[in-house]
Amino acid sequence: MIKIQIPPHYEPERRYIISVIFEEFLGLEIQVQVVVRLDVRVTIDDDRELIIADGLFSVATDQWLQPTSLPKQPLKVWNLATTGLTTTTIESQIPVIYGNDPDDPNFFQASGQQIYLGLDILGSAFFMLTRYEEVVKTDRDQHDRFPAKASLAYQEGFLDRPIINEYLEILWCCLKHLWFKLERKPRQFQLRLSHDVDNPFELTPFSIKRWSRRMIGDIIVRRNPLLAVSLAINGCRAVLNLPYQDRLDTFDWLMDQSEAIGVRSAFYFICGYSPSDPRYDVNEPAIRRLIRRILTRGHEVGLHPSYDTYLQPDKLMAEVMSLQKILAEEGVSETQLGGRQHYLRWKAPDTWQHWEDAGLAYDTSLTFADRAGFRCGSCYEYPVFNLQTRQALRLRERPLIAMECSLLNSAYMNLSCNDATEKIKKLFKSCKIFSGELTLLWHNSDLITAKTKDLYTKYIVYVNL
């Protein structure tokens, strides 16, 4: 039994992050004691101890969730190579989000009986996992989303690193140095493939307006007249009630790719409507048949809450109930219903609380729309915390690491196919080294060319090697 002594202030916050780090991530049995002290002390019924500096949780209560409580930039960097610790990190240069000055020779001290660590692992992990900075900072884009460029991770150059996983390995190394018989929870790398169903079909139901707009897009935006010709032919066949091919109906192809590597895909459907949402009704016969196809093949059907739901709990609840009704009618009793917000519209901590209240099991919205990477600093799924109510929730966050739109869209990273592949490889390696989860989003409607299908196949084959 690991005993962890903590100072008395910010007790709910401390207990939450200690539980996530020690129990959820490491799988260790712990006992938390509240005592009067200025740091965190870890022991196991003997004379050995690990002392961890207190940073974020030493902030005065009137400064909590205020700009003055944010990490001081530019961040100091700790050179792990100078410590003699043998651990797993992306780089030996470790940004110190919260903690003491790493230039101080007392920042890290180790003996056979005691380790003092000036890196505030617990406060830093709390900051990243709860999205603390997104409550404090007011930066938002045109869709009311917190942009990557406003984040500490982007500004300090560690968005491509799961920094909290690196911190976790440093902590584990210290624990093993003092108590070599400790064993942690085993983990295996996992690839999670997900698909937001914004536009399930192009020609069902048939619309001349949509048909003509898509052909213009093929010529002007995609610069592929052959696509326009193919769409024209298939549109005419649809009008004449003849067999046709709908190029957005890539669902069976996606499931084929997933099944070939032993992965279960998740397809998230929109069950509501606003002017910014695609206009399809989840109860339409074609959509119901699609859902039935997905379920029959053993893949997951989840929720893609409509554009305004991130701040509208009643609307979210109605959409949850709509999907649950459909699943029940299809003979599925889904107790672990999850999904992702449309347009990745999400606000801390409101959206999490709305999902919790709606009875959803997990959210996987948290990547930045404008940049792929580790928005939460972690490649592990974890239970979330409401910064306003100061309560841990049952809801779990499954961090989204990359979306194809972020990589390829000209409004975001605007990468070439080769550069996008290299970016995915880099993110994959960062997940694989910690036996984490690489969650990828690729829309069914972004697979209309052989080039994009080839790119997708390269992604999933590479990361599954």
pTM: 0.94
Name the domain boundary from 178, 212, 229: 178
Predicted local distance difference test score (pLDDT) of residue 47: 87
Residues 118 and 225 occupy one common structural domain = no
pLDDT tens digit sequence for 83-94: 988 999 999 999
**Same domain assignment for residues 212 and 309:** no
Residue 185, domain member (yes or no): no
Convert the pLDDT of each residue in 349-397 to its tens digit: 999 999 999 999 999 999 999 999 999 999 999 999 999 999 999 999 9
For the purposes of burial, counting CB atoms within 10 Å of the CB of 146, is it exposed (0-12), middle (13-18) or buried (19 or more)?
A: buried
Q: Tell me the CB-side half-sphere exposure of residue 230, using CA atoms within 13 A.
A: 13
> Residues 258, 390: one domain?
yes
- Distance between CA atoms of 22 and 102, rounded to whole angstroms? 24
Query: Amino acid identity of 417?
Result: C
Of the chain, the end-to-end C-alpha distance in Å amounts to: 38
Q: Specify if 433 maps to a domain.
A: yes
CA dist 301 and 152 (Å) reads 34
Same domain, 299 and 211: no
Same domain, 217 and 261: no
Q: Are residues 242 and 252 in the same domain?
A: no
| Pair 160, 287 in one domain | no
Note whether residue 183 is domain-resident: no
Same domain, 72 and 150: yes
The reported pLDDT for the residue numbered 238 is 59
Q: Look at residues 231, 246, 261 and tell me which one is the last residue of a structural domain.
A: 246
Q: What is the pLDDT of residue 211?
A: 56
Q: Is residue 267 part of a domain?
A: yes
Which phi-psi region, left, alpha or beta, contains residue 157 (left: φ > 0; alpha: ψ -120 to 50)? left
Written as tens digits, the pLDDT of the chain (465 aa) is 999 999 999 999 999 999 999 999 999 999 999 999 999 999 998 889 999 999 999 999 999 999 999 999 999 999 999 998 899 999 999 999 999 999 999 999 998 899 999 999 999 999 999 999 999 999 999 999 999 999 999 999 999 999 999 999 999 999 999 999 999 999 999 999 999 999 998 756 656 666 566 656 667 666 667 665 666 566 666 555 656 578 889 999 999 999 999 999 999 999 998 777 777 899 999 999 999 999 999 999 999 999 999 999 999 999 999 999 999 999 887 678 999 999 999 999 999 999 999 999 999 999 999 999 999 999 999 999 999 999 999 999 999 999 999 999 999 999 998 999 999 999 999 999 999 999 999 999 999 888 889 999 988 877 766
Same domain, yes or no: 262 and 145: no
Q: Which two tokens stand for residue 211?
A: 């048909």
CB neighbour list of residue 414: distance below 8 Å, 6 or more residues apart: 408
Domain membership of residue 210 (yes or no) is yes
Domain housing 321: 190-195+248-463
| DSSP letter assigned to residue 223 | -
Q: Are residues 66 and 172 in the same domain?
A: yes
Give the number of other Cβ atoms within 10 Å of residue 450's Cβ: 8
Q: Are the C-beta atoms of residues 90 and 433 closer than 8 Å to each other? A: yes
Assess if residue 105 is contained within a domain.
Answer: yes
* Residue 52 in domain: yes
Residue 358 lies inside a defined structural domain of this protein: yes
Claim to verify: residue 278 and residue 385 sit in the same structural domain: yes
Q: Are residues 308 and 409 in the same domain?
A: yes
- Residue 236's pLDDT is 66
Closest by CA position to 384, among listed 400, 395, 368, 375: 395
Query: What type of residue is 235?
Result: G
Number of domains into which the chain is organized: 3
CATH of the domain at 334: 3.20.20.370
**Three-state SS annotation for 317-381:** HHHHHHHHHHHHHCCCCCCCCEECCHHHCCCCCHHHHHHHHCCCCEECCCCCCCCCCCCCCCCCC
Residue with tokens 């002594």, as numbered in its chain: 5
